[in-house]
């Protein structure tokens, strides 16, 4: 049987990028091979995001485009199945079925391991929907990626260690679409990381909606805090860099701070969303921390690891946000000094408590505040990048650049760094002396020669999987 073509389009967070890979791994034994475009695909999966209204509306416009492709496929005498997965599927399952007859399967994030059965059910019953939150751990049912798939995906990989959220911030849909907080056992995480490392992965990003709330069962039968997991993973041969996203300021335990002090592999760059600098708004958001609590957490990280840098998420125009609340946010940003940050206009999400709050902020005020905040963040990011000029910084090389002879990697702070070198350096961490800067990218020369006799074992096309959009 010729291979069947699978196209997956992911929206939103890193969790979705990871889930897309797991869906591809689940469908590989059925003969599906990934393809870059929806045209000509036998199966198209839209892996959706529900976090803001704009994100979920994109799905319906994409389905409109796919309808034409599906009709063309039928005229060509071949079929095309369309699956809606992810958080819009979870939140609006029945609505999708009603609004978009072109969809064959709707599947929530906890049920990806049932995809082959759901496709079979759609064939016999017309359509299939599964948006349960099964008690069983879906990870236990998802197949491991093949060696070939790991190598094709490059030297950086995501590993989910925690899913769901019990925090119930009043603006957020995650507790409703991803369910209650659950952590994977330590042994399973170690198995995944070992397997990735054995197949050439050098950098692991541990992901979870609330990753530092991790409390998976350890080898001693007790729940391990996140920091302890990091110590364990840092000892796995082949892993040279560890990252994690997204963390919550309330769950920063001492073991995590200690890990930043002790582990060279743990990168000194932390995404720690604060959302607002106003205590009044933080309380209305149910963040359960104040701006001062956040400042103190940042100080603990900095005391342990002076070269650490931070990124954050901000929401402007949350209901009731007055000028002085927004001024408090600008003041906090000014005090912390971020290397990067994401800021969003508040988007009311049906079913969340904030959606019923009356004191809405006008669109004009939101727009104006967003521009002001983004300008401040941009200037901080540029200033941070300029500090790299003339310095020698470790870079993990992960892919060929656009120009012949150019290789690109990432600094500890995720800045792309370009050098002229052989692609044998892909997979190595090498010091780079930074000579120039173009917007967010650094350019320089290798400050020491690569280790000889260590050829790259990756497909030259394999690239890092980092996203520069909002984190998990």
Q: How far is the C-alpha of 47 from the C-alpha of 131, rounded, in Å?
A: 14
Residue from 175, 245, 174, 252 nearest 204 by CA = 245
For the packed helices 53-75 and 86-99, what is the interaxial angle rounded to 10 degrees? 60
CA dist., res. 80 & res. 122, Å (int): 12
Q: Which does 313 bind (CB under 5 to 8 A by kind): ligand SF4, ligand SAM, none?
A: ligand SAM
Which of 46, 169, 193, 328 forms a contact with ligand SF4 (CB under 6 A)?
169
d(CA 367, CA 347): 12
How near is the Cβ of 249 to ligand SF4 at its closest, in Å? 10
168 is a site residue for ligand SF4 (CB under 6 A): yes
| Residue 349 in the binding site for ligand SAM (CB under 6 A) | yes
Between residues 168 and 440, which has the closer beta carbon with respect to ligand SF4? 168
Q: Which two tokens stand for residue 357?
A: 């709050």
In the complex, least distance from residue 358 CB atom to ligand SAM, rounded to whole angstroms: 16
Backbone angles phi, psi at 253, to 5 degrees: -90, 165
The entry of ligand SF4, ligand SAM, none that residue 315 binds, CB within 5 to 8 Å by partner kind? ligand SAM
Residue from 156, 197, 240 nearest 463 by CA: 156
Task: Assess 246 for contact with ligand SAM (CB under 6 A).
Answer: yes
Binding mask 192-231 for ligand SF4 (x = CB under 6 A): -----------------xx---------------------
Q: How many CB atoms lie within 10 A of CB 429?
A: 19
Q: Shortest distance, CB of residue 201 to ligand SAM, whole angstroms?
A: 25
From 161-169, 260-268, 342-350, 434-442, span contacting ligand SF4 (CB under 6 A)? 161-169
Give min distance, CB of 286 to ligand SF4, in A: 8
Q: CB 461: neighbour CB atoms within 10 A?
A: 9
Can the peptide bond before residue 318 be classed as cis, meaning omega within 30 degrees of 0? no
Q: At its nearest, how many Å lie between ligand SF4 and the CB of residue 174?
A: 4
- The SS3 call for residue 244 is strand
Residue 109 φ then ψ, to 5°: -60, -20
Residue 175 binds to ligand SF4 (criterion: CB under 6 A): yes
Which of the 8 DSSP states describes residue 266?
Answer: B
172 scored as a contact of ligand SAM (CB under 6 A)? yes
Query: DSSP readout, 173-229?
Result: -HHHHT-S-EE--HHHHHHHHHHHHHTT--EEEEE-TTGGG---B-TTSSBPPHHHH
Q: Which of 172, 339, 370, 396 binds ligand SF4 (CB under 6 A)?
A: 172
Per CB under 6 A, 288 contacts ligand SF4: no
Q: In this chain, which stretch among 182-190, 196-204, 292-300, 346-354 interacts with ligand SAM, using CB under 6 A?
A: 346-354
Judged by CB under 6 A, the residue of 7, 22, 228, 248 near ligand SF4 is 248
> Which residues are near ligand SAM by CB under 6 A?
13, 51-52, 171-172, 174, 209-210, 246, 248, 273, 275, 313, 315, 344, 346-347, 349, 470, 472
> Which residues are near ligand SF4 by CB under 6 A?
165, 167-169, 172, 174-175, 209-210, 248
């Amino acid at each position: 049987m010729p291979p069947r073509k699978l196209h997956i389009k992911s929206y939103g967070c890193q969790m979705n990028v990871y889930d897309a890979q797991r869906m591809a791994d689940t469908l590989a034994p059925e003969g599906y091979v990934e393809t870059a475009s929806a045209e000509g695909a036998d199966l198209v999966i839209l892996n959706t995001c529900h976090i803001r209204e704009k994100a979920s509306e994109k799905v319906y416009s994409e389905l409109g485009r796919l309808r034409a492709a599906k009709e063309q496929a039928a005229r060509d005498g071949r079929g095309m199945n369309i699956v809606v997965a992810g958080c819009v599927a979870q939140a609006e399952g029945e609505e999708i079925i009603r609004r978009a007859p072109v969809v064959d399967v709707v599947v929530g994030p906890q049920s990806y391991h049932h995809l082959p059965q759901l496709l079979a059910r759609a064939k016999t019953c017309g359509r299939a929907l599964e948006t349960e939150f099964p008690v069983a751990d879906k990870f236990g049912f998802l197949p491991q990626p093949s060696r070939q798939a790991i190598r094709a995906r490059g030297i950086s990989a995501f590993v989910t260690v925690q899913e769901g959220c019990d925090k119930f911030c009043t603006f957020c849909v995650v507790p409703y679409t991803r369910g209650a907080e659950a952590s994977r056992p330590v042994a399973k995480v170690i198995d995944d990381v070992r397997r990735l490392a054995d197949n050439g992965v050098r950098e692991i990003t541990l992901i979870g909606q609330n990753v530092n709330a991790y409390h998976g069962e350890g080898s001693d039968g007790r729940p391990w805090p996140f920091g302890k997991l990091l110590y364990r993973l840092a000892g796995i041969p082949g892993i040279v860099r560890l990252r994690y996203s997204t963390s919550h300021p309330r769950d920063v335990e001492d073991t995590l701070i200690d890990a930043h002090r002790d582990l060279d592999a743990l990168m000194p760059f932390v995404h720690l969303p604060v959302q607002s600098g106003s205590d009044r708004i933080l309380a209305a958001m149910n963040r359960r921390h104040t701006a001062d609590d956040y400042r103190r957490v940042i100080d603990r990280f900095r005391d342990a690891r002076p070269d650490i840098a931070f990124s954050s998420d901000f929401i402007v125009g949350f209901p009731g946000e007055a000028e002085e609340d927004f001024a408090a946010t600008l003041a906090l940003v000014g005090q912390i000094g971020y290397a990067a940050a994401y800021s969003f206009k508040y988007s009311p999400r049906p079913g969340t408590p904030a959606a019923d709050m009356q004191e809405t902020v006008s669109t004009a005020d939101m727009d104006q505040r967003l521009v002001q905040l983004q300008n401040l963040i941009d200037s901080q990011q540029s200033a941070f990048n300029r500090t790299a000029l003339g310095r020698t910084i470790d870079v993990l090389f992960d892919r060929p650049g656009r120009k012949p002879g150019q290789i690109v990697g990432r600094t500890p702070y995720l800045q792309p760094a370009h050098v002229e070198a052989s692609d044998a350096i892909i997979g190595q961490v090498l010091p780079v002396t930074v000579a120039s800067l173009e917007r967010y990218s650094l350019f320089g020369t290798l400050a020491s020669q690569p280790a000889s006799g260590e050829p790259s074992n990756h497909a030259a096309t394999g690239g890092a999987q980092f996203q520069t959009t909002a984190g998990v």
